[in-house]
């Protein structure tokens, strides 16, 4: 069996989606673990910011390296490799005795995570029917919300009672799932056909993404990815910490973030429903504008009702936008450079993920208000909206070649 013609779309969605869920569990738990580490290792806000940023540095490296590898050795092989790298790194970090070793291991976790996400969306994009492609990729992204929900539940019930190390060990169990993946997933027939035709060099593929033919969509994707990742990791890795900073204790903070996290699922499902009706471009624009509005309100919230309402709607719109982003990105390129183009955009975006958490940490140390910090993320999202509006082309019903 050489392609996905003989395996159902539902099976492919489930297999790729479970990998996505495990990755989200890791990122989600890290946001809670940072709060626990602050107390245990007596960290300041700048050090807390670095924990989030070192993962993003790993993600940038992983998205670049594994995106290029996906066009050489296949999507499936890279998907298995990245899952193993991130799972083993996560498990070993449970044994870290200090911040230095913990951050080194977080870099490897980030590498696996940064490589897996664009490669999984590329594989699914190439493997499903054109008229359902957008919806299926957004549904794939919805597994991220499930992973965050599992992370919030583990963090709420496990960390206060048994500690953050046990939570990380639970998160590392997906390493065993990678073995199962090898037997249950196949490269797309499009990739196999392209592989048989020619072998294009890595640097040629990179330069091709910036050629006259693709420069507009590449520029749009790089701006979009940078702004979305910068704001997402700045806001969401700090979410439990920000709720604590607004005056709530750790357990109460975890409880409120769990409630906010539940709103991610309807965000994905509505985006999945609308993406084949409105198209990718307008779903992205509407959900990004919703993110910008509620990021501002979350920043200025001083009462619990406003904090929860804006947090819930921030989760709803932001994660719906992520779903559209992963559907939109692989559709910008032909098969021979799809993994490279999507991986490069994701890698550049991860640079934003380095600066987002760091910025929050350094501004909090300097007593800059949370309202001002979230206004910065609000502006970043608006820039992403203009990039899609001015440079983006609609790819709904576009036949992938």
Check which CATH number belongs to the domain holding 212 and give it. Answer: 1.20.1250.20
Q: In terms of residue numbers, what domain contains 174?
A: 9-181+202-391
Residue partners of 301: CB distance under 8 A and separation at least 6: 246, 307, 310, 311
Cβ atoms of 170 and 154 closer than 8 Å: yes
Q: Is residue 162 part of a domain?
A: yes
C-alpha torsion angle, residues 62, 79, 207, 205 (rounded to 10):
150
Q: Is residue 197 part of a domain?
A: no
Sign of CA dihedral 140, 145, 148, 150: negative
Res 134: pLDDT: 77
Q: What's the average model confidence in pLDDT over 101-110?
A: 94
Cβ atoms of 105 and 91 closer than 8 Å: no
Q: Is residue 400 part of a domain?
A: no
Q: Is residue 398 part of a domain?
A: no
The number of beta carbons lying within 10 Å of the beta carbon of residue 114 is 32
Confidence band (pLDDT; 50, 70, 90) for 1?
very low
The number of beta carbons lying within 10 Å of the beta carbon of residue 102 is 20
For 348-363, letters b (16+ CB in 10 Å) and e give: bbbbbbbbbbbbbbeb
Confidence band (pLDDT; 50, 70, 90) for 5?
very low
Res 321: pLDDT: 93
Q: Is residue 34 part of a domain?
A: yes
| Count of domains forming the chain | 1
Compare 327 and 190 and report the one with higher pLDDT. Answer: 327
| Calpha distance 94→75 (Å, rounded) | 29
Per-residue pLDDT of 8-49, as tens digits, reads: 777 788 878 887 888 888 888 888 898 889 889 998 888 888
Q: Is residue 187 part of a domain?
A: no
Residue 322 has which token pair?
């992520």
Per-residue pLDDT of 156-177, as tens digits, reads: 889 888 999 999 998 888 777 7
Res 401: pLDDT: 58
Residue 123: closest CA among 140, 110, 105: 140
Percent of the chain with pLDDT over 70: 95
Q: Is residue 95 part of a domain?
A: yes
Compare 98 and 198 and report the one with higher pLDDT. Answer: 98
Residue 374: closest CA among 315, 320, 298, 303: 298
Average pLDDT value for the chain: 85
Q: Is residue 399 part of a domain?
A: no
Give the side-chain half-sphere CA count within 13 A for 183. Answer: 4
| Calpha distance 135→133 (Å, rounded) | 6
- pLDDT exceeds cutoff 90 at 144: no
Least confident of 43-57, 82-96, 251-265, 316-330: 251-265
């Amino acid at each position: 069996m050489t392609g996905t013609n003989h395996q159902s779309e539902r099976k492919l969605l489930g297999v790729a989606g479970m990998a996505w869920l495990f990755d989200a569990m890791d990122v989600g738990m890290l946001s809670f673990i940072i709060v626990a580490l602050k107390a245990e290792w007596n960290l300041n806000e700048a050090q807390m910011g670095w924990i989030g940023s070192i993962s993003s540095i790993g993600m940038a490296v992983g998205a670049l390296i594994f995106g290029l590898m996906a066009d050489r050795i296949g999507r499936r092989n890279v998907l298995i490799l990245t899952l193993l790298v991130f799972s083993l790194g996560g498990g070993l970090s449970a044994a870290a005795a200090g911040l230095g070793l913990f951050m080194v291991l977080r870099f490897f976790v980030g590498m696996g995570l940064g490589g897996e996400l664009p490669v999984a969306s590329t594989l699914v994009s190439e493997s499903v029917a054109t008229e359902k492609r957008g919806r299926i990729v957004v549904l794939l992204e919805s597994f991220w919300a499930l992973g965050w929900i599992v992370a919030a539940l583990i963090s709420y019930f496990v960390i206060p009672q048994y500690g953050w190390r046990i939570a990380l060990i639970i998160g590392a169990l997906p390493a065993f799932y990678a073995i199962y993946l090898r037997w249950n997933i196949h490269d797309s027939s499009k990739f196999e056909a392209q592989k048989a035709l020619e072998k294009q060099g890595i640097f040629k593929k990179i330069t091709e993404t910036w050629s006259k033919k693709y420069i507009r969509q590449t520029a749009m994707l790089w701006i979009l990815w940078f702004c979305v990742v910068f704001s997402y990791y700045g806001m969401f890795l700090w979410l439990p910490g920000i709720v604590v900073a607004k005056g709530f204790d750790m357990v109460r903070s975890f409880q409120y973030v769990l409630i906010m996290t539940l709103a991610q699922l309807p965000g994905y499902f509505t985006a999945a429903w609308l993406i084949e009706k409105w198209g990718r471009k307008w779903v992205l624009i509407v959900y990004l504008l919703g993110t910008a509005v509620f990021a501002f309100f979350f920043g200025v919230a001083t009462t619990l009702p406003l904090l929860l309402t804006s947090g819930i709607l921030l989760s709803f719109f932001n994660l719906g936008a992520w779903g559209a982003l992963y559907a939109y990105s692989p559709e910008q390129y032909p098969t021979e450079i799809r993994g490279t183009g999507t991986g490069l955009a994701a890698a550049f975006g991860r640079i934003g993920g380095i600066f987002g958490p760091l910025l929050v940490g350094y501004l909090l140390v300097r007593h800059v208000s949370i309202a001002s910090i979230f206004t910065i993320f609000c502006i970043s999202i608006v820039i992403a909206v203009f990039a899609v509006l001015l440079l983006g082309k609609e790819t709904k019903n576009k036949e992938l070649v």
